[in-house]
Amino acid sequence: MTSLSSFARKAGATLGLALAMGLVAFIVFGPLTNLAIWAFAEQWFYPNQWPTRWGFEFWGRVFRPRAGAWESLWNSVSIAAATVGLSMALSIPAGYALARLALPARSFIMLIFLLPQAFPSLPIFVNIAAIFYGLGLNGTLFGVVLVHSLPGLVYAVWIATASFSAVDRSMEEAARNLGAGPLRTFRDITLPQAFPGLMAASIFVFLDSIDEFTGTYFVGAPDISTLPILMFNASMGGNYQIAAITALILLIPSVGFMLVIERFLKADVLSRIGR
């Protein structure tokens, strides 16, 4: 009797775990499966539960010269790369100063970099668009890069600060004792140790920029078209196949870079974020 009840408990636990894993898999992979179906569906009309014709016709439409996908892809990648460059150029000295110097109101300074994430993005970008219009930055790549750098600095500064905080200072002291100057110590000792965290911060900024829609829409459109803008226009026009194909294209760098982040972002860096 005891063995029977123990078997029933184990079976119930196994069944519960299987149901939970199935639910998680459905939540994660269900939308991705729907995207994949739409990407290869050439005909799919109600009340059919599955497409009546499959093929690559809409892939050809997306990548034909007049469709604008290549231009949007180039804009997305170039804007994201420029956003990474600007964000890291600001965050490396800021992160080093926040990690090493006894700055007054350090916690308040760190909090300031979080403020863009504390408010809804729509009113922020609407007001930025009004300011940029007066400065002549609307509809320019530089204006879009500036807008993308606003949320990108949140990742860049916080992770850069944690990366420099995790650097072994005894190695820096040993280099200084051997005659290395401050700049050489930073270049040869500090920066290589902080590099994995800085690389992870760069990837976060890149992914945030390449997926950014709201800021690009209010500051760049209609002069600047990116893949999220192309996907939005396609979905609003009922071109679900083109929207699904664009979403899958955006998904490729996200998945690939997330695997890279897992390698670079170590536990010692994560434990110091926010300190």
In a structure prediction context, what are the per-residue pLDDT tens digits for the chain, which is 275 residues long?
Answer: 556 566 666 766 777 777 888 787 777 777 778 888 888 888 888 777 888 888 888 888 888 877 778 888 889 989 999 999 999 999 998 888 888 877 777 777 777 777 777 777 788 888 888 888 888 888 899 999 999 998 888 888 888 888 888 888 888 878 888 787 888 888 888 888 888 888 888 888 998 898 888 889 999 888 888 989 988 888 888 788 888 888 888 888 777 777 766 666 655 554 455 45
- Cα separation of 273 and 166, whole Å? 10
Helix axes 191-210, 69-100, angle to 10 degrees: 140
- Cα separation of 232 and 109, whole Å? 36
Are the C-beta atoms of 198 and 160 separated by less than 8 Å? yes
Given the candidates 1.10.3720.10, 3.40.50.300, 2.60.120.10, 1.10.150.130, the CATH classification of the domain at 68-274 is 1.10.3720.10
The H or E element that residue 94 is part of is helix 69-100
Token digits of residue 9: 């408990």
Closest residue by Cα to residue 140 from 209, 216, 233: 216
What is the chain's Cα-based Rg?
Answer: 24
Residues 6+ positions from 196 with CB-CB distance below 8 Å: 163, 264, 265, 266, 269
Domain locations along the chain: 1-58, 68-274
